[in-house]
Amino acid sequence: MNQKLKLQLLEEKFVISKLPQFAELPSVFAKGEMCFVMRTDEDLTIISPEFMAPNNVQQEVGFRCVRTSGEIPLSATGVLAALVDPLSAADISVFAVSTFQADYIFLREEHLVKATQALQHAGHEFVHEE
């Protein structure tokens, strides 16, 4: 994909939590706030704003999120690579999630400036939410 992407930096700070595979989903995640819930045959992973993070579970804290803005068809190829490749070249690890509407890249807050510069250098543009 040679297309340059429009990106948004979300204001929230996020936490990535790992729960046991068959754990009950905490009720706070039914409230409509942005969160990501993925259950696999190994665990239940929840990405949430800090204020919603479950207690007493394995967690990684201090993440910020960059998401794609605008419509990108599910048939588009190379979208994640267009984001991850420049970050990988800058030695920045990411945690990626895709939805029907957008792709989300979670990265540690201390890498935010370097990540923003790497993405802009790759030709991507940051836009403000409207």
pLDDT digits (tens, 9 = 90+) for 25-45: 888 787 778 899 999 999 999
Which stretches of the chain score pLDDT less than 50? 1
Q: Which domain holds residue 113?
A: 6-123
- Give the β-pairing of 36-39 and 43-49: antiparallel
pLDDT at 68: 95
pLDDT at 1: 47
Count of domains in the chain?
1
pLDDT at 126: 96
- Of residues 110, 37, 25, 107, the one with CA closest to residue 66: 107
Give CA–CA dist 4/54, Å, rounded: 36
**Contact yes or no for 87/118 (Cβ under 8 A):** yes
Asked if residue 1 is part of any domain, the answer here is: no
pLDDT at 129: 67
Kindly report the CATH number assigned to the domain that includes residue 29. 3.30.2130.10
DSSP 3-state of 53: coil
Sole residue written with tokens 């190379």: 78
